[in-house]
Structure 1
Amino acid sequence: MTTESLSGTFLLIAFILYTLSFIIFGIAVTGKKWSERDPEKHVKRWGRLGLVLTVFGLLFQFGYFITRWIAAGHIPVSNMFEFLTFLSMMIALAFIIVYAIYRTAVLGLFAMPVCILILAYALVFPPDIQPLIPALQSYWLKIHVTMAAFSEAFYAVGFAAGLMYLLRVVNFKGTSKADIKERRGVEVVIFVVITTLAFVITVFIFKGIGYEAQFKQEITKISQTGQETVETSIVDYVLPPIVQPFSSTVVSMQPFLGMDEPLMTAPSWMNGINAGRKLNTFIWSLIAGAILYVLIRLALRKQIGAAIQPAMSGMDAEDLDEISYRAIAIGFPLFTLGALIFAMIWAHEAWGRFWGWDPKETWALITWLYYTAYLHFRLSRGWQGRKSAWMAVIGFVVVMFTNVGVNLIIAGLHSYAGV
């Protein structure tokens, strides 16, 4: 077995262990209701088992990280597949740290799905080992990316605890405008999570059946001297092309549900790497997410948040609020160092300037300002409870757009990470 295949095996085992730990945490939380002897003892026992599985999953994922590093010859955080797998590992580590402090089994019921979803989402991207481009051949790659991911892992735990708080306190039976607005907000967050899950499932289904479509795209570029050049590239699809790339022709396309040609063309202003394919992926994500959400709603016959809320009945809302705040408070200084200060030093070393308003730099600054506002409102204005929880939930959406959306949709110096 080669080092690269061994790393893949380690990653698969970690994914299985994380999934099992999520199931065990679910038993710990929901099982206390039918535990006849000592519900609290039941929660502690199963929660401990869930933690052990998480720790072993983390060890196997660390084994993946080391073996892939050996196979690649550089730290494996240079593209979307590698970064997202590393981020999921950091989320598992951050969860273990927070769990060691608060000993709250129900946190695993929400933090571990975030870890699992991000790891599953990473598997959508090509796992091939790629050589480092010149700009990444620096020791700052190890410092900047790893610390940024570690800080964002605590933001993820803060998101999980914030969502738990909302599920605990939202009145799903209230008829006031405020109650209805809050319920809808929670359902939107749940829909986003379900859409991510549906997207991963959809991609794996079409990969499993071997679906393929291919387009030849021609892009005209104008140099600073005014000279026009035409670049030709081949764009591969694994999902049926509802949208084809701008200025492209079909090379090959397997029919799907009577659709033997794309329904539309991507707009010309979408100039990120393979923008047409990514718009197509986004549309499929919404379709798959809507279908899965409706199926779950039909099965539950109520809002999903209302179905989850009973599992939160034994939780102290103030504890959840405190966990969310503490996790973000830990992540903020790490993000300041890793994602801003160290990034600026590396930018000066690589590109000759500390700041250039590149889309990734801009969104990193937006993320930092957002969490600065969160801490300001929390500490100076007394924004606790609902307001704090909503900011924690929305903040992680900003984090994920900074990491995924910017790399995939917006062209810039960091677009290599979207490959």
Structure 2
Amino acid sequence: MDISQTTTPQGGASKPASQPVGQQVYVQPRGYFQRLGMLDWLYGIGLFAAMLFALNRFGGYMDYYEKAILVLAAPVFTALGWGWKPVRWLIPLIAVLALCGVASYGGSLDAANQKFVLKYMLSSQSAILWMSALFVFSTAFYWLGLLARSPFGGSVGSKLCWAAVVLGFTGMMVRWYESYLIGADVGHIPVSNLYEVFILFSMITALFYLYYEQRYRTRALGPFVLLVISAAVGFLLWYTVARDAAEIQPLVPALQSWWMKIHVPANFIGYGTFALAAAVGSAYLLKSYGILADRLPALEVLDDVMYKSISVGFAFFTVATILGALWAAEAWGGYWSWDPKETWALIVWLNYAAWLHMRLVSGLRGRPAAWWALIGLVVTTFAFLGVNMFLSGLHSYGKL
């Protein structure tokens, strides 16, 4: 539609001419980059500047694949921050806290027991203990908010969840540095054992939940998702005390590969979103049976979150499985060996492939989809943890 413009007598901004009553005025939508504000651009420029600094300062210690990951991280996290605004403060805050922790060491691990800020806050073990406590408190406040119909409870639960994410990622970054303080041959990204990946699982599940919390403007799913995270935290604390799991160990030969840096995170994005889908599925079932029905989001919203979570998880789990096969070919000389871990990973993949197939082809909805998501969590948990506990094979280095 052609819209004529008039100019005010004072030379001000032009205004649309009068339109007939009921006639819609077409407004040209702004482009993607036009919708970005000053903070968006500052955030993006800051990430690229940090990437260039790291490349210049530490590039000599990196292989070509590590340089590629570093270079690609800047545009990926820039786009993520532009699409989901909380990331704009989350990444800088984690970076500042982690750098403060790293600087406090002064090149010696002994500082962890000597300096207050490390001993009680920013050493990896301290930060992860704070993360664990904050997740438990977050769970309690979310449930208080749901059962008491208290917006305050949900608001506090959400803030505590964000604080747990900040300290959890800070602890992982500092732990990465601590591993290099032990020795250059010991240093590695902290995703190599059950202790480290349970932290990663908690972080990923929480982040995806917080995204959906903002996207759908409801905190009613927090009690269910945080229960899953608190269960993971409970295992993490038991594992830490019973097996001294927080101690940093050198990598076994099979894990001394750059594939680990991309295979494990992709895998746990899958695990985390599958767990999120199961938690939402449990909320769906409660509402469908009339339990807490007036306090939970509409069934359509729960169904949509469940579907999107499984879709994202399946995509990343597929990528992780392919990366795992490539890693196996390098480490053991074959892409697939029907090792128990590989076999159960395939079972998990087939389970969610079938769920999505039934959803897209047969219109799977309602209680059957929710029950299937819950059963999927049982299958995924066995593939993630049960195989390590009861079976052995090429992946026996992850055994409990």
Structure 1 counterpart of 2:140, from 9, 20, 23: 23
Q: Residue 79 of structure 1 contacts residue 418 of structure 1 at CA under 8 Å; is this kept in 2?
A: no
Higher strand share: 1
Aligned-partner Cα distance in 2 for 1:77–1:117: 19
Query: Are residue 130 (structure 1) and residue 249 (structure 2) matched?
Result: yes
Structure 2 counterpart of 1:62, from 169, 173, 176: 169
Match of 1:2 in 2: 112
Q: Residue 159 of structure 1 contacts residue 393 of structure 1 at CA under 8 Å; is this kept in 2?
A: yes
Query: Are residue 377 (structure 1) and residue 358 (structure 2) matched?
Result: yes
Report how many residues are paired: 271
Secondary structure, in 3 states, of the residue corresponding to 1:319? Answer: helix
Q: Residue 408 of structure 1 contacts residue 415 of structure 1 at CA under 8 Å; is this kept in 2?
A: no
1:314 Cα deviation from its structure 2 partner: 4.5
Letter in 2 for 1:319: V
Aligned-partner Cα distance in 1 for 2:171–2:293: 34
Q: Residue 87 of structure 1 contacts residue 150 of structure 1 at CA under 8 Å; is this kept in 2?
A: yes
TM score, norm. by length of structure 1: 0.62
1:102 Cα deviation from its structure 2 partner: 1.4
Partner deviation per Cα, 1:250-283 (whole Å, 9 max, x = no partner): xxxxxxxxxxxxxxxxxxxxxxxxxxxxxxxxxx
Q: Residue 347 of structure 1 contacts residue 354 of structure 1 at CA under 8 Å; is this kept in 2?
A: yes
Aligned-partner Cα distance in 1 for 2:301–2:293: 15
1:350 Cα deviation from its structure 2 partner: 0.8
Q: For 1:131-146, what aligned pairs fall within 5 Å after superposition?
A: 131-146=250-265
Q: Equivalent pairs: percent with the same residue?
A: 39
1:57 Cα deviation from its structure 2 partner: 0.6
Extract unaligned runs of 5+ from structure 1. Answer: 33-41, 172-308
Structure 2 counterpart of 1:310, from 281, 288, 292: 292
Structure 2 counterpart of 1:319, from 298, 301, 306: 301
Match of 1:87 in 2: 201
1:310 Cα deviation from its structure 2 partner: 3.1
TM score, norm. by length of structure 2: 0.65
Match of 1:286 in 2: none
Match of 1:417 in 2: 398
Aligned-partner Cα distance in 2 for 1:360–1:9: 32
Q: Which has the larger radius of gyration?
A: 2
Higher helix share: 2
Match of 2:316 in 1: 334
Aligned-partner Cα distance in 2 for 1:65–1:165: 34
Q: Which has the higher contact order (CA 8 A, sep 6+)?
A: 1
Match of 1:103 in 2: 217
Partner deviation per Cα, 1:128-175 (whole Å, 9 max, x = no partner): 22110011001111100111011211111101000111111136xxxx
Q: Residue 360 of structure 1 contacts residue 402 of structure 1 at CA under 8 Å; is this kept in 2?
A: yes
Extract unaligned runs of 5+ from structure 2. Answer: 1-110, 180-186
Structure 2 counterpart of 1:120, from 206, 226, 234: 234
Aligned-partner Cα distance in 2 for 1:24–1:349: 47
1:123 Cα deviation from its structure 2 partner: 2.3
Secondary structure, in 3 states, of the residue corresponding to 1:124? Answer: helix
Q: Residue 329 of structure 2 contacts residue 335 of structure 2 at CA under 8 Å; is this kept in 1?
A: yes
Structure 2 counterpart of 1:393, from 338, 349, 374: 374
Secondary structure, in 3 states, of the residue corresponding to 2:249? Answer: coil
Aligned-partner Cα distance in 2 for 1:75–1:313: 42
Q: For 1:72-83, what aligned pairs fall within 5 Å after superposition?
A: 72=179, 73-83=187-197
Match of 2:129 in 1: 12
Match of 1:229 in 2: none
Aligned-partner Cα distance in 1 for 2:267–2:167: 22
1:48 Cα deviation from its structure 2 partner: 3.3
Aligned-partner Cα distance in 1 for 2:379–2:331: 26
